């Protein structure tokens, strides 16, 4: 007897895969994402994993998850509460069940609900055996362990390896539910385990076992269809913020013909930038794993002094260590790019969770009057443009530039319209030359940008000395004169202020005048844009401005702020950007602040705007 299955078309779905760190949830999520990208959905993802590499198996601390929001419409966030929760063990259920929407779909690996695992998760009784779940959710308790064991019976690999394929089984079930092809995953498995045919076979069988289970089990009666999203025309791929940052750097190298030297020290969640670039030696990118954070930026600055573009990346605690070198880069006016992938702080804080709380550190966190341009990408894909711009501005203005991304952006992903590097702003490098020797003075400036020239060792006749002591205007000699210091402080300040000329006009989404302006910065973009769309659909007069350049701020921002009765600044900190805006423009901006280790949800912004309208 064949069962009857109905097809239901829906706009968007949020799925959360959750399990033990060793259950392979990042992989399941990643493959679902890739497949959804290929079928043409818009999507946004949020991986979330513990700081411990392998917390005790089955423990609450060891739960790892991956959320994907996919849609036939344009979307901007990884979603808030999931419609579907996949819980591979009791601990995952315990941690994530509270987020599942009422009546949502709950898929559980029944075989993991052992006495030991239940007790590790703090369950007195098995929730899959009583009514505590079935009354509230559409539940599917699937014996995934058993399914994969049966499917792989005749493959000669250890039972432990078979058990590890459960994540593919879960993935198979979801592929059935959302009518997704298996081929991309099978191709990928063939690539990944090239020399291990038994492992490929086991995983493929597990994937099929899950898919077939959906197809045959009576309880699955509906397939959900999420159509292709109507995105702007062009060629797309799925892109995460780490890869985008690295591609931006490489594009800068190719367009400028500059050598790139990346020097850094491993730190979560920035290390993947070092890993990715280390594979690109054939493109001329040199990478250097330094002995510590300070050495990372020191080597990058040394490389810049030598005529390469020095780049370093870290996260808050590491950035704190690099601070003194940023001061030296400011004083010596050398190009340098510092990528800060923000995470929860202070101190070691929440290494694997996202936060926007290093804004003050980026803008103000140095001794002396030490302005640094700060640029914050807005989406995973935008990390590409931010990295490129940071490199370009660093060289054009002879200054360190900080890119302020975060854990959400570097680990998250979205469909990405592949850019054409030819469309980017040109990137010229003009080293001082031997012919210039006669008139050469180290701190003579380009009158337009105020940048000094880049005179690199090895150039005959330009021998000169630089350092951290105050410089005499033009000659660059050590100088402690009070008027000279005043002048140099002002020049360094003006030089950074001039970068405002590079910032394109601020785009307003929604109403260009009205009741409320939602002003986001960096990764706050997605939730703010989603909230604005939702509010506009209810005829509420809001606009959204998404700020990338934090320092200097866009020149038109002051005027924009005046066009609204209220300004709301949602950010994942206690109100740092709000303080900057209030100080800069004397605007009584209102904050929406949450620091819960994850990006803000759009619904909270919607709620807040409605409160403001009532207030």
Smallest gap from Cβ 483 to another protein, in A, equals 21
**Number of C-beta neighbours around residue 237 at 10 A:** 14
Smallest gap from Cβ 27 to another protein, in A, equals 16
Question: Which pair of structure tokens corresponds to residue 56?
Answer: 């005790």
312/546 with CB nearer another protein: 312
**Number of C-beta neighbours around residue 166 at 10 A:** 27
Q: Which residue has the tokens 């702080």?
A: 345
137/280 with CB nearer another protein: 280
Smallest gap from Cβ 164 to another protein, in A, equals 24
Smallest gap from Cβ 160 to another protein, in A, equals 31
Smallest gap from Cβ 442 to another protein, in A, equals 11
Smallest gap from Cβ 468 to another protein, in A, equals 6
Smallest gap from Cβ 30 to another protein, in A, equals 12
Contacts of 553 (CB under 8 A, 6+ apart): 500, 547, 580, 584
Smallest gap from Cβ 537 to another protein, in A, equals 24
Nearest to 554 by CA among 580, 588, 590, 527: 580
Q: Residue 614 and residue 110: Cα distance in Å, rounded?
A: 48
8/282 with CB nearer another protein: 282
- The strand pair at 260-264 and 336-342 is best described as unpaired
Q: Is the bond leading into 100 cis (omega within 30 degrees of zero)?
A: no
Question: Which pair of structure tokens corresponds to residue 185?
Answer: 């995953």
Smallest gap from Cβ 279 to another protein, in A, equals 9
Contacts of 130 (CB under 8 A, 6+ apart): none
Smallest gap from Cβ 253 to another protein, in A, equals 8
209/336 with CB nearer another protein: 336
331/560 with CB nearer another protein: 331
Question: Collapsing DSSP states into helix, strand and coil, what is residue 571?
Answer: strand
Q: Residue 307 and residue 280: Cα distance in Å, rounded?
A: 19
Question: Which pair of structure tokens corresponds to residue 146?
Answer: 């058993």
439/448 with CB nearer another protein: 439
Tell me if 471 sits within 8 A of 443, measured CB to CB: yes
Q: Residue 511 and residue 434: Cα distance in Å, rounded?
A: 55
Q: Residue 72 and residue 181: Cα distance in Å, rounded?
A: 17
For the chain, give the longest Cα–Cα distance: 94
**Number of C-beta neighbours around residue 491 at 10 A:** 16
31/166 with CB nearer another protein: 31
**HSE-up of residue 206 (Cα within 13 Å, Cβ side):** 27
Smallest gap from Cβ 59 to another protein, in A, equals 35
144/239 with CB nearer another protein: 239
241/510 with CB nearer another protein: 241
3-state secondary structure 123-146: CCCCCCCCCCCCCCCEEEEECHHH
Contacts of 132 (CB under 8 A, 6+ apart): none
Can you list the positions of beta strands (E) in 334-428? 336-342, 374-375, 400-406, 413-417
1/233 with CB nearer another protein: 233
Residue 141 forms beta bridges with which residues?
Answer: 108
464/485 with CB nearer another protein: 464
């Amino acid at each position: 007897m064949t069962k009857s299955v109905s097809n239901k078309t829906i706009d968007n779905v949020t799925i959360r895969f959750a399990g033990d760190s060793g259950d392979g949830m990042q992989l399941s999520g990643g493959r679902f994402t890739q497949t959804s990208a290929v079928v043409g959905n818009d999507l946004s993802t949020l991986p979330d994993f513990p700081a411990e590499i392998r917390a005790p198996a089955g423990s609450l601390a060891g739960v790892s998850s991956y959320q994907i929001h996919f849609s036939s419409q344009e979307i901007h966030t990884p979603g808030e509460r999931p419609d579907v929760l996949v819980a591979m063990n009791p601990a995952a259920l315990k941690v994530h069940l509270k987020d599942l929407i009422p009546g949502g779909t709950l898929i559980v690996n029944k075989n993991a609900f052992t006495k030991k695992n239940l007790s590790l998760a703090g369950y007195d009784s098995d929730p899959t055996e009583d009514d505590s779940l079935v009354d509230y959710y559409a539940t599917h308790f699937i014996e995934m362990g058993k399914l994969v064991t049966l499917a792989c019976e005749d493959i000669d690999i250890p039972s432990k390896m078979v058990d590890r394929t459960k994540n593919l089984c879960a993935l198979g079930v979801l592929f059935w539910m959302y009518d997704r092809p298996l081929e991309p995953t099978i191709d990928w498995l063939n690539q990944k385990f090239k020399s291990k045919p038994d492992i490929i076979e086991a995983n493929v069988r597990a994937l099929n076992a899950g898919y077939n289970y959906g197809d045959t089990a009576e309880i699955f009666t509906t397939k959900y269809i999420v159509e292709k999203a109507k995105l702007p025309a062009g060629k797309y791929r799925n892109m995460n913020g780490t890869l985008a940052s690295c591609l931006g750097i490489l594009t800068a190298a190719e367009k400028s013909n500059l050598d790139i030297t990346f020097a850094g020290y491993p730190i979560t969640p920035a290390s993947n930038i070092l890993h990715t670039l280390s594979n690109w030696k054939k493109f001329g990118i040199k990478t250097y794993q330094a002995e510590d954070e300070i050495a990372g930026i020191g080597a990058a600055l040394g490389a810049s002094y030598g005529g390469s573009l020095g780049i370093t990346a870290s996260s808050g605690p590491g950035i704190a260590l690099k601070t003194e070198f940023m001061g030296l880069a400011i004083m010596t006016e050398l190009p340098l790019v510092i990528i800060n992938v923000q995470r929860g702080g202070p101190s070691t804080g929440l290494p694997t969770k996202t936060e926007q709380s290093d804004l003050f550190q980026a803008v103000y966190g140095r001794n002396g009057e030490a302005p640094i341009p700060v640029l914050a990408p807005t989406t995973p894909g935008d990390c590409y443009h931010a990295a490129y711009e940071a490199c370009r501005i660093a060289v054009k203005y002879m200054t360190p530039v900080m890119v302020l991304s975060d854990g959400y952006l570097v680990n998250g992903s979205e469909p990405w319209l592949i850019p054409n590097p030819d469309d980017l702003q040109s990137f010229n490098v003009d080293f001082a030359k031997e012919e210039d020797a006669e008139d050469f003075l180290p701190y003579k400036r380009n009158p337009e940008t105020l940048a000094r020239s880049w005179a690199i060792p090895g150039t005959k006749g330009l021998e000169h000395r630089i350092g951290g002591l105050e410089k005499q205007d033009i000659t660059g000699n050590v100088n402690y004169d009070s008027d000279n210091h005043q002048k140099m402080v002002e020049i360094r300040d003006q030089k950074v202020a001039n970068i405002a000329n590079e910032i394109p006009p601020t785009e307003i989404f929604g109403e260009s005048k009205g009741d409320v302006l939602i002003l986001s910065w960096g990764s706050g973009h997605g939730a703010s844009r989603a909230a604005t769309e939702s509010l506009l659909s209810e005829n509420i007069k809001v606009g959204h401005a998404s700020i990338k350049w934090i320092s200097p701020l866009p020149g038109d921002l002051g005027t924009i702020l005046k066009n609204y009765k209220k300004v709301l600044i949602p950010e994942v900190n206690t109100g740092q950007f709000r303080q900057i805006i209030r100080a800069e423009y004397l605007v009584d901006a209102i904050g929406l602040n949450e620091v819960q280790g994850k990006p803000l949800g759009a619904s909270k912004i919607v709620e807040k705007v409605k409160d403001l309208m009532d207030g």
